[in-house]
Amino acid sequence: MAKILIAEDNEALRQSLVNLLKDEKHQIDAAATGDYALELLLNYSYDAVILDWDLPAVPGIEICQRYRKHGGDAPVLFLTGKTDYKSRVAGLDSGADDYLCKPFNSDELMARLRAMLRRSPHKVRTVLRVGAIAYNPESKIVYFNEEPIDVTKKEISIVEFFLRHPNQVFSIEAIVERVWSSESEVSPETVRPYIKRLRDKLTDDGGKCQLITVHGSGYKLVES
């Protein structure tokens, strides 16, 4: 099972790709706009990326370039209606690993994806760690004081987000925007119970918790 980002603005095609890859037991995140796709890429770890060239807000080729400049090393497959060789060259030069023109055959897409995953250089991901809190993106396990703890999928997403942004204050609204899907209708009242449960799980015997409340501003994960 791989964690894969699909960035495609055509809703029908995006959902078709999501269903196709979920049938293969992959874990999928999906984005309809370039800015959201870039946000996900710069904040979360993926095993592969399927990237539409003509995304709104930020085009796919710019996303790929910026992702590579930030050190992103997941293999990228471009999906595009551009069939000329100059576009193919530009896409590969931007940092993509493969290029598939629309319309395409789903069997060919899956074969190319399997090939990219076989070539992927990062089979074992670096464990994210801040103080007593750690997260292994490969196993999806959160640790506190070196012991695995029981957390939900959404709690994992929150922990991963804060581990990637230590010592930064985020409002409830910012957490909703970064962690929840842009298509979800989530209120601050929905988020606060998640934070409270996480704080309970990440509090040591002395009552100390690294995930702190910054009154009037939001929440912050401190080093210790």
Domain 128-221: CATH class, spelled out = mainly alpha
Q: Does domain 3-119 have CATH number 3.40.50.2300?
A: yes
The pTM of the full predicted model, rounded to 2 decimals, is 0.57
**Sign of the alpha-carbon dihedral angle for 172, 174, 175, 180:** positive
Q: What digits encode the pLDDT tens for the residues 33-52? A: 999 999 988 888 788 999 99
Query: DSSP code of 166?
Result: T
Compute the average pLDDT of residues 123-138.
Answer: 78
Burial class (CB in 10 A: 0-12, 13-18, 19+), 13: middle
Lowest mean pLDDT of 5-9, 122-126, 169-173, name the range. 122-126
- Helix (H) / strand (E) element for 212: namely strand 211-214
Predicted pLDDT of residue 144: 93
Model confidence band, residue 126 (pLDDT cutoffs 50, 70, 90): low
- pLDDT exceeds cutoff 90 at 185: no
Q: Tell me the C-alpha distance between 15 and 48, whole Å.
A: 17
CATH 1.10.10.10 range(s) for the chain read 128-221
CATH 3.40.50.2300 range(s) for the chain read 3-119
